[in-house]
Chains A and B, each alone.
Chain A
Amino acid sequence: MMEKLYLVARIADTRVALRSRAIHSVVAVGTPVEVPAAPPHVAGLFALRSRVFTLIDPHVVVGLAPVTVIEGQRVIVVDVADHGYALLADAIEDVCFIDAPETRVAGKLLPGWARVADAMIEHEGASLLVVDPAHFITLPVASAA
């Protein structure tokens, strides 16, 4: 039943669902270390159990202004291509089974969201975007410039 398990969180000012198998863990982060000259969505580095993770600010990825990381803020830890990343979350709501099927994204999304959203899912009377964390790691060429 792992396929039906989702993490519902608020990232980049939007409630989304993340497939649980794509997620390593959810942790609280301290003050990250800046990476000078890195792409704008890199919010810094932090260490967790002697591993170094790269903190990604989803706000920048979807085209919003970057936010400041607050100590103790929760992050979603993911592994992409053998490297550890963490997505800055505004809030973590729940981990739950969602029985409803994933459906095609209906309606027009902002370009930033359209790139990261895989599908939509119905949960407790609301439509949530199902996003793939891996899409947050690389920035589209246009917005990186």
Chain B
Amino acid sequence: MDDLLNDFLAETAEILAEAGGALVAWEADPGDRERLDAIFRLVHTIKGSSGFLSLPRVTALAHAAEDALDQVRRGNRPADAALVTGVLGVIDRLTHLCGALGTGGGEPAGDDGEVIEALALAADEPASPEPAEIQLRREDDLAAELQAWRSIRVPLPLLDSVMTGVTDIVLARNEFARMLRESGADPRLIASFDRLSDSIAGMRQSVSQMRMQRIDKLFAPLPRIVRDLAQELGKKVKFVASGGEVELDREMMENIRDPLIHIVRNAIDHGIEPLDQRVAAGKGVIATLSVSARQSGNQIEIEVRDDGRGLSPDALVSKAVAARIVTATEARALSAKDKLELIFRPGFSTAAKITSVSGRGVGMDIVKANLEKIGGVVELRNDEGRGLTILLRVPMTLTIISGLMVRAAGQYFAIPRGAVREILLESSDSARIDCVGGGELATVRGEKFPLLRLEEILGLKPGADEDAEDRAIVIVRPGQGQSYALSVAAIHDHEELVIKPAAPLIMATGLYAGTTLPDNGRPVLLLDVQGLLAAAGIDASEAGRCHDEAEEAEAEAVAARKAAQLLLFRDTGGRVRGIRLSVIERVEEVPALALFESAGLVQAQIGDDIFPVHAGRLPEDAGMLKLLRLHDGQRVLCYPIEAVIDIVRLPDTVQPAPVPGLISGVTLVGGEPVELLDPFWLMEQYAHGEIASEARQPLCQLAGDADGWGENFLAPILRSAGYRVASADDALAGGAPDVFLTLSDEESLIADGVPVIRLRAAAAAAGPDDQSVYRYDRQALLEALRVRIGGGGS
């Protein structure tokens, strides 16, 4: 029974991790039928095995989830976020229960009613059923379940002992082979020994593969973690995983799991900014968090990259000083790199405040220690303001790699074959070695490489018996965009090598990636091709080595900077539209109450200012409203939107609209048509009635305003038309008037050289020479003002 339970727990833990990731992926694409089927099968499996072990709570939970998913499969229920959240709730509860089962051995008492109910609640709107597809899919289920039976579980220690045993056999075989050769044995004996030898080699290969797992398994729980955390923090994060096919030793995987999760959580919590800050920084609101794995020579590189705010070295330093991790004096002596690496000091936390996410007692110091334990390293690539990339490099220990054996100073070293691009003799015609200013440079067929001599880097004396003629150059490519030439005394041969981590004190030299035991039974050090570079202190970057390429890269960067960016948003009608980012001043979020209607126009009050809003009518529902603030250098216009979607590069081809209007044209973004707003047209619509800035408004001086009509009736009209008004009392307070408006016939009030408009009380003109304006003739008055001094809004 215990064995059964253990098997169940191991299997269920795996299923739950897989199901969580699959659910999140399915939520993003509910049309993915295959994924839904896969999730259904996973839950179904848990239900089946728990029933067998009589675990009623687990069975009930699994049954509820299975039921809900089946409803979706039958089309009776829509696949929505509520359902996914419900099923995730069940998965969390199951995980919790399995944990309790593992420690306590029995199912703890408790009530799962609320979890199951949450799932049922989400299903109050049944959609019309469409049962046509179901029969077919059932057969698929069966086939897939049969597949699952074709693997078995083996305890890890057993695998380890098989591995050790096989390696011992290989070593014994080698010893035996040497003795056979020396004794001059019968060729028939040697032939049959060779057959044995071949099958041993095959077996060693298979055993190593048994321990390998796709790194997919490590990535499986991440989508769920990203989703939950992003939701909790109100951030939008797109998660991308790649390189899942890279294989890694299972034991190594266990050691990387927690550090990786911690880094991912950190990136979302601290690295990725809140939405408004992202827009302010000109980034897409949806942050991208990518995790990728690749094999780089003798190492597996796992890269976690976010496009958040990156690390600020100065902020790190001040925090470290505040936390008494370094003194101010020490801090001044730190290099830029050292400053970043402060995050690896124990007791350091980059969070300004402890959130529910951070402050869990796991810091980057633990991450680093865990990785070093298995001979790995953590690297930071910081791009302040634009994102942080954390690179985990772990040796492929216990992985079999193809290695090139080279000799230096009479000692053998291994170089991972994957990092070797080319091998040639120093004396060969295609290679030329130049000494330039104390450094050496190898030119191979026109391509230049910095040259390192292995003996020099390792601090060895060149062997006396070694002939300079035999020296070989190995062109090494330690990573993307880097290469150098490594000069060695001789090339020995290729061998399949089992790599194991060297002791930490040897790994700490940074020169070695591990140890290996080739067939002669004497340990050989595997060189860290990246570490050699660091030790030699040379720049192996390929960029700029070739003139043309550098220019191209530069031109490309310039083009990228010049490219206009487009803000994609969903407007209040639910349509996806875009507008050039450069005309957006910022995105405002205001309560719907800040909008009001006046003179047939919707206006918004933001702070102390009132801006026109491009909307036909006031929003119906209260709550918060997002406004794009368009700015043309003088005026502001608000455009209400539902949500900002992204910022993309403005496509080159735009299909223009036939007539000028709100939409200037349509373009394709990611294969979807997007309408582009015409900021020119928008601004044009709201340009009239708009007030020029106060300083340039003409000043109207009222004169002869004895009864206050000018102040009370006339002045408001003039002000709204874009003039400043000074009454008779505060005459000349605002500087020299541009025009006088006089309501009486007295001449004494009027200064010389300033145009005058006389207003008369009678509707009819006094005679043909009467230049005065009837005081209630608004049109004529404004026209007269415009003729005299210009200005005015309309």
Interface residues of A (CB under 8 A from B): 33-39, 42, 45-47, 49-52, 54, 81-85, 137-139
- 5 residue pairs bridging A and B, Cβ less than 8 Å apart: A34-B411, A35-B512, A38-B505, A49-B168, A137-B503
Residues of B within 8 A of A35 (CB): 506, 509, 512, 525
**Neighbour of A33 across the interface among B164, B409, B458, B523, CB < 8 A:** B523
Residues of A within 8 A of B516 (CB): 52
* B535 closest partner in A (C-beta): A37
Q: Which residues of B contact A (CB under 8 A)?
A: 164, 167-168, 170-171, 373, 409, 411, 457-460, 500-506, 508-509, 511-512, 515-517, 521-525, 535
- Number of A-B residue pairs having CB atoms within 8 Å of each other in the complex: 71
**B502 near A54 (CB under 8 angstroms)?**
yes
Q: Evaluate contact between A52 and B517: CB separation under 8 angstroms.
A: yes
Q: Report the minimum CB–CB distance from A51 to chain B (whole Å).
A: 8
Q: How distant is the Cα of A61 from the Cα of B163 in the complex, in angstroms? A: 34
Report the minimal beta-carbon distance from A113 to chain B, rounded to whole angstroms: 20
B503 / chain A contacts, CB cutoff of 8 Å: 54, 83-85, 137
B525 touches A138 (CB 8 A): no
Give chain A residues whose Cβ lies under 8 Å from the Cβ of B170: 50
Complex CA–CA separation, A34 to B512 (angstroms): 13
- Which A-B residue pairs are the 4 nearest by beta carbons? A36-B458, A50-B167, A45-B523, A54-B503
Q: Is A42 a contact of B517 with CB atoms below 8 Å?
A: no
Choose one: A33, A39, A46, A51; the contact of B505 (CB below 8 Å): A39
Q: How far, in whole Å, are A34 and B164 apart by their CA atoms in the complex? A: 24
> Beyond A46-B523, A51-B500, A82-B373: 4 further Cβ-contacts under 8 Å?
A35-B512, A45-B502, A50-B167, A54-B505
Nearest-neighbor residue (CB-CB) of B521 within chain A: A47
Distance in angstroms from B164 CB to nearest chain A CB is 6
A85 to B506 CA separation, bound complex (whole angstroms): 12
Q: Which residue of A lies closest to B525 (CB)?
A: A35
Closest chain B CB from A21 CB (angstroms): 21
A31, closest chain B residue (CB): B522
Q: How far is the CB of A15 from chain B (nearest CB, A)?
A: 26
Distance A81 CA – B504 CA, assembled complex (angstroms): 9
- Contact partner of B517 among A34, A50, A83, A84, CB < 8 A? A50
Give every chain B residue within 8 A of A83 (Cβ-Cβ): 501, 503-504
Minimum CB–CB distance for B534 against chain A, Å: 12
Chain B neighbourhood of A45, CB < 8 A: 502, 515, 523, 525
- A33 to B521 alpha-carbon distance, docked (Å): 11
CB <8 Å contact, A50 and B411: no
> Which residues of A lie under 8 Å from residue B508 when comparing CB positions?
39
Asked, given contacts A50-B168, A54-B503, A137-B505, whether A33 binds B517 with beta carbons under 8 Å apart, the answer is no
Report the nearest A residue to B518, measured CB to CB.
A47
Q: In the complex, what's the smallest C-beta–C-beta distance from A19 to chain B, in angstroms?
A: 21
| Distance between B730 CB and nearest chain A CB, rounded to angstroms | 81
Q: Report the Cα distance A37→B454, complex, angstroms.
A: 12
For residue A34, which residue of chain B has the nearest CB? Answer: B411
List residues of chain B with CB within 8 A of the CB of A37: 457-459, 509, 511, 535
Smallest CB separation, B527 vs chain A (Å):
10
| Nearest CB of B to A112, in Å | 17
Residue of B nearest to A83 (CB): B503
Q: Which of B409, B459, B521 has most A Cβ within 10 Å? A: B521
Return chain A residues, CB-CB under 8 Å to B373.
81-82
Chain A residues closer than 8 Å to B411, beta-carbon distance = 33-34, 36
Q: Give A138 to B505 CA distance when docked, in angstroms.
A: 7
Q: How far is the CA of A82 from the CA of B374 in the complex (A)?
A: 9
Considering the complex, give the chain A residue whose CB is closest to the CB of B500: A52
Expressed in whole angstroms, the minimum distance between the Cβ of A35 and any Cβ of chain B is 6
Please, which residue of chain A has its CB at the minimum distance from the CB of B460? A36
* Distance of A54 Cα from B459 Cα, bound (Å): 20
Q: For residue A20, give the distance in angstroms from its CB to the closest CB of chain B.
A: 22
Which chain A residue has the least Cβ–Cβ distance from B374?
A82
**Most chain B Cβ neighbours within 10 Å, of A35, A42, A84, A139:** A35
Asked whether B504 lies within 8 Å of A52 as measured between CB atoms, the reply is: no
Report A-chain residues with C-beta under 8 Å of the C-beta of B409. 36
Identify which of A33, A47, A51, A85 gathers the most chain B CB atoms within 10 Å of its CB: A47
**A36 neighbours in B (Cβ, 8 Å):** 409, 411, 458-460, 511
Hey, which chain A residues are within 8 Å of B522, CB to CB? 33, 47
Report how far A45 CA is from B522 CA in the complex, Å.
Answer: 9
State in angstroms the CA–CA spacing of A50 and B174 once bound together. Answer: 12
Q: A36-B411, A37-B458, A81-B373 in contact; A52/B505 too (CB < 8 A)?
A: no
A137 to B523, CA, bound (A): 19
Q: List the A side residues contacting B506 at CB < 8 Å.
A: 35, 38, 42, 54
- Separation in Å of the B29 CB from the closest CB of chain A? 43
Residues of the B chain whose Cβ atoms lie less than 8 Å from the Cβ of A47: 171, 517, 521-523
B199 to chain A, nearest CB (A): 18
- Complex CA gap A54/B506 in Å reads 9
* CB-based nearest B residue for A30: B522
CB distance from A34 to the nearest CB of B (A): 6
A51 / chain B contacts, CB cutoff of 8 Å: 164, 500
Contacting residues, chain B, for A85 (C-beta < 8 A):
503
Chain B residues whose C-beta falls within 8 Å of the C-beta of A81 in the assembled complex: 373, 504
Name which residue of chain A comes closest to B517, CB basis.
A47
Tell me, in angstroms, the Cα distance from A42 to B502 when the chains sit together: 12
Q: Smallest CB–CB gap between A90 and chain B, Å? A: 22
Q: How far is the CB of B515 from chain A (nearest CB, A)?
A: 4
Instruction: Decide: B509 and A33 in contact? CB cutoff 8 A.
Output: no
Q: Which residue of B lies closest to A39 (CB)?
A: B505
- List the A side residues contacting B505 at CB < 8 Å: 38-39, 42, 54, 137-139
Q: Which residue of chain B is the closest to A84 with respect to CB atoms?
A: B503
A18 CB to closest chain B CB, in angstroms? 19
Question: Which single residue of chain B is at the shortest CB-CB distance from A144?
Answer: B505
CB distance from B239 to the nearest CB of A (A): 33
Chain B residues, CB < 8 A from A34: 411
CB distance from A53 to the nearest CB of B (A): 8
A33 near B524 with CB under 8 A, answer yes
- Chain A residues positioned under 8 Å from B501 (CB to CB): 83
B523 and A38 contact, CB distance less than 8 A: no
A50 touches B511 (CB 8 A): no
**By the criterion CB–CB under 8 Å, are B509 and A38 in contact?**
yes
How long is the Cα–Cα vector from A85 to B525 in the complex, in angstroms? 16
* Cβ distance B200 to chain A, nearest Cβ, rounded Å: 13
The distance in angstroms between the C-alpha atoms of A34 and B506, with both chains bound, is 11
Distance in Å from the Cβ of A139 to the closest Cβ of chain B?
8
Contacts of A138 in B (CB 8 A): 505
Contacts A37-B458, A37-B459, A45-B515; is A50 near B171 (CB within 8 Å)? yes
B171 and A52 form a contact (CB under 8 A): no
Residues in chain A near residue B509, CB distance under 8 A: 35, 37-38
Tell me the nearest residue of chain A to B170, going by C-beta.
A50
From B502, B521, B523, residue with most partner A Cβ within 10 Å = B523
Instruction: Please measure, in the bound complex, the distance between the C-alpha atom of A32 and the C-alpha atom of B665, giving whole angstroms.
Output: 76
A34 to B502 Cα, complex, angstroms: 13
Q: How far is the CB of A122 from chain B (nearest CB, A)?
A: 34
* A52 and B459 contacting across the interface, CB-CB below 8 Å: no
Q: Is the Cβ of B523 less than 8 Å from the Cβ of A52? A: yes
Task: Give every chain B residue within 8 A of A38 (Cβ-Cβ).
Answer: 505-506, 509
A84 to B411, CA, bound (A): 22
Q: A54's closest neighbor in chain B, by CB?
A: B503
Contacts of A46 in B (CB 8 A): 523
Which A-chain residue is minimally distant from B411 (CB atoms)?
Answer: A34
User: Of B409, B411, B503, B511, which is in contact with the most chain A CB atoms at under 10 Å from its CB?
Assistant: B503
A38 CB to nearest B CB, Å: 6
| CA distance in complex: A129, B535 (Å) | 40
A residues within 8 A CB of B535? Answer: 37
Chain B residues within an 8 Å CB radius of A39: 505, 508
Bound-state Cα–Cα, A144 to B564, Å: 57
- Once the chains bind, are B168 and A52 in contact (CB under 8 Å)? no
- B515 / chain A contacts, CB cutoff of 8 Å: 45, 52
Q: What CA separation (Å) do A124 and B593 show in the bound complex?
A: 94
